[in-house]
Structure 1
Amino acid sequence: MNIFNEQQTVELLKRLTCTPSPTGYTKKIMNVMASILDQLGVTYTTTNKGAIIVTIKGSNDERHRLLTAHTDTLGAMVKEVKSSGRLSLSMVGGFNWNAVEGEYCTIHTASGEEVRGTILMHETSVHVYRGAGSLPRDEKHIEVRVDAKVRNAEETKAIGIEVGDFVSFDNRFELTDTGFVKTRHLDDKASVALLLQLVKLIQEEKVTIPYTTHFYISNNEEIGYGGNSNIPEQTVEYIAVDMGAIGDGQQTDEYTVSICAKDSSGPYHYELTHQLVDLAKKNDIDYKLDIYPYYGSDASAAIKAGVDVRHALFGAGIESSHAYERTHIDSLRNTAELLHAYVMSPMIDEEEEN
């Protein structure tokens, strides 16, 4: 059994990252999810918030597991149509404006039109603005230069652009010959691709899993409440599959699967976390254990909502998170292998009893 199909995973990841889905504007990406699942012959339910839940019955239907990943990404909304015809933005999700300065973007109008543009500082031209490089990158100075012949607010509004329209950032997907995947929105579409591939594997290989398992594709994680509801009451374990944070003081890298012991919300379930570590060791899966200083997940959102589950978090290591991100095929492979090892393993309390 081939647990990780590199070509299929990369092709799927490219498709997902090329589909705009800033938080709040996820209908298109969720339709893509539904289409993929329909092609696999997998049944699913859709929540009122638009999330998709796939349930695969296991040998034990009394104690359930849940794995989640999110399709929603960073983005922006039109805050103001300026007198110049350009647009000021309101941030969706948490990032730094310098991470998107100079990026091409798409304005999604209420009528369904897509208008191209570029995110720039208002004071970009060094031939006009002295000290432009030292000005703060913030909502006051960042704007969208619209790719249409508009010279004032009235002309911009006349082509259908209005306050509240969503703005998505170009992903710029690239797979290098050295195995790196470079694109925006690896957080968390890398995990979504891996979960879909796992569902495909179970479905096509007719794998019998030990516990009924829910695959929860959420669409509001970047604003804090993606996977905190519609959790079946039989759920005992809740795994967020989400990016590993890379930087100074971190063990996480782009080649291993990152298992999170603690983030801003506090420690993850100790025994479940160390079951993941043990599974990695037993299956020769390269991993790193880490703490993410400024981070929250759908699993921690579920805990805060009062859901009584054991929760854990792991995923591929993502470099330059919430900017132009990068990971390596090796990290995707190690994450896929840990996902498979986990869904086939006994729950930690049953393992202890044996």
Structure 2
Amino acid sequence: MKLPHIDSEYLVDILLRLLFTPSPSGYTDRVVHLVSEELERLSVPFELTRRGAIRATLKGRVSEPDRAVVAHIDTLGAMVKSLKENGRLELVPVGHWNARFAEGARATLFTDHCQWRGTILPLKASGHTFAPEIDNQPGGWEHVELRIDAKVRTLEDLLRLGVHVGDFIAIDTAPEITDTGFINSRHLDDKAGAAVLLAAIESVHREGLDLPVDCHPLFTISEEVGSGASAALHQDVAEMLTIDNGTTAPGQNSSEFGVTIAMADQSGPFDYHLTHRIIQLCQEFAIPHQRDVFKYYRSDSAAALEAGNDVRTALVTFGVDASHGYERIHLDALESLARLVGIYMQGPPLYSRDRYGIGPRAGFPTQPG
């Protein structure tokens, strides 16, 4: 195994392209085409599920027990709940996020035939009119509305524009990268994870790295609504590494620097042996890392297991400040993660016994104790 060189310019470029491609869960076709075109450019074969999850293949010396590395390319968003008499739109969230992070956001409304720009505002938005009532009004999705940038004052005006209940709304990401390496944007969860995976693939392709077993990069399109990798796995995958965001908040051990390795989330502990293989790789190749446990969190790993897949799973993350809000990460974490993923792809299978779904006790591992 060798430490791959990660092209940071490529990583940032593909991240920005992903961020500027709207993809709320349920409205992901555009980003599927973007990632597919990039895989084609890198000469990586892939296939799509019916709904658009991407299953790529990096060929190894042998085909089993093969592995997968997964990131999701769907994001949070919103949907029209009702058309209001005042020409505004009532909204419901797509995915789980708080309406306070939607207030003031610029957004795009996708109708059946066109799209409109607009702003999500609290019901009382004018300081010159409502003054202290603005601070006192309650929060929540029932207390915000979308103002469309068109001549609409009535429900009939909305109907003339072709607006319907159930139309999707994508929130502007508004990315900014500072000279200090910080990246501020919405939807870094998990566009940054997808960029990390593509950067690792690019390094494997550019350096011609030898892989011992087939590795399947997966890009899922429904993680934010819970189903994620439930239907995207190849049935012979024995181990799966998930890339997603960690939470750099009070009481957490995540960091915006290096790799944060999740030991458990609300769905339970991750696979002991695969997780400790990841820790070992970080130690061996001097990749800065820390461990964390997430109480209110689930990922593609949980979706895969709940769907009945008997696969070892681990979760590696980039630390995100203000997750599911206006998020911030650091380029250092993305580069560290991409190196780790590139190393992991070059490593031997965790256990040769894992090529069998069910087998004898011989070769089954033992935890220390």
- The correspondence for 2:293, drawn from 291, 294, 301, is 291
Which deviates more from structure 2 when the two are superposed, residues 178-187 or residues 195-204?
A: 195-204
- Cα distance between partner residues in 1 of 2:238 and 2:352: 12
Q: 1:123 touches 1:132 (CA, 8 Å); kept in 2?
A: yes
Q: How does 1:121-270 map to 2 (within 5 A)?
A: 121-129=122-130, 130-270=132-272
Offset, 1:139? 2.3
Structure 2 counterpart of 1:161, which letter?
V
Q: Secondary structure at the match of 1:80?
A: strand
Offset, 1:2? 5.1
Q: Secondary structure at the match of 2:304?
A: helix
Offset, 1:239? 1.2
- TM-score normalised to structure 2 length: 0.92
Q: 1:20 touches 1:168 (CA, 8 Å); kept in 2?
A: yes
- TM-score normalised to structure 1 length: 0.96
Residue 48 of structure 2 corresponds to which residue in structure 1? 46
Residue 119 of structure 1 corresponds to which residue in structure 2? 120
Structure 2 counterpart of 1:91, which letter?
P
Which deviates more from structure 2 when the two are superposed, residues 283-292 or residues 118-127?
A: 118-127
Residue 93 of structure 2 corresponds to which residue in structure 1? 91
- Cα distance between partner residues in 2 of 1:18 and 1:74: 14
Offset, 1:3? 2.3
Structure 2 counterpart of 1:125, which letter?
S
- Cα distance between partner residues in 2 of 1:268 and 1:163: 40
Alpha-carbon spacing, 1:228–1:71, altered in 2? closer, same or farther (3 Å): same
- Cα distance between partner residues in 2 of 1:121 and 1:253: 33
- The correspondence for 2:17, drawn from 15, 21, 25, is 15
Offset, 1:203? 2.2
- Cα distance between partner residues in 2 of 1:53 and 1:3: 24
Q: Secondary structure at the match of 1:8?
A: helix
Offset, 1:288? 1.1
- Cα distance between partner residues in 2 of 1:306 and 1:297: 15
- Cα distance between partner residues in 1 of 2:43 and 2:306: 34
1:301-333 Cα shifts (integer Å, max 9, x gaps): 111111111111012111111011111111111
Offset, 1:338? 1.1
- Cα distance between partner residues in 1 of 2:41 and 2:240: 27
Structure 2 counterpart of 1:72, which letter?
D
- Cα distance between partner residues in 1 of 2:135 and 2:22: 30
Q: 1:3 touches 1:340 (CA, 8 Å); kept in 2?
A: no
- Cα distance between partner residues in 2 of 1:137 and 1:196: 38
- The correspondence for 2:107, drawn from 102, 105, 108, is 105
- Cα distance between partner residues in 2 of 1:299 and 1:338: 18
1:81-102 Cα shifts (integer Å, max 9, x gaps): 1000001101100111111211
Structure 1 counterpart of 2:17, which letter?
R
Offset, 1:124? 1.5
1:8-48 Cα shifts (integer Å, max 9, x gaps): 11111011001100000000110111111122222210001
- Cα distance between partner residues in 1 of 2:205 and 2:258: 26
Q: Secondary structure at the match of 2:351?
A: helix
Percent identity, aligned pairs only, is: 39
- Cα distance between partner residues in 1 of 2:112 and 2:228: 24
Structure 2 counterpart of 1:189, which letter?
K
Q: Secondary structure at the match of 2:21?
A: coil
Number of aligned residues: 353
Q: Secondary structure at the match of 1:140?
A: helix
Structure 1 counterpart of 2:121, which letter?
L
Q: Secondary structure at the match of 1:317?
A: strand
How big is the alpha-carbon RMSD for the aligned residues of Structure 1 and Structure 2? Answer: 1.7
1:200-229 Cα shifts (integer Å, max 9, x gaps): 222232222111111110000000112111
Q: 1:3 touches 1:336 (CA, 8 Å); kept in 2?
A: no
Which deviates more from structure 2 when the two are superposed, residues 57-66 or residues 184-193?
A: 57-66
Offset, 1:61? 1.0
Offset, 1:136? 1.8
- Cα distance between partner residues in 2 of 1:2 and 1:202: 8
1:156-187 Cα shifts (integer Å, max 9, x gaps): 12112211110011101111001011111110
Offset, 1:132? 2.1
Residue 273 of structure 1 corresponds to which residue in structure 2? 275
Residue 359 of structure 2 corresponds to which residue in structure 1? none
1:37-67 Cα shifts (integer Å, max 9, x gaps): 1222222100012111101121121211011
Which deviates more from structure 2 when the two are superposed, residues 195-204 or residues 82-91?
A: 195-204
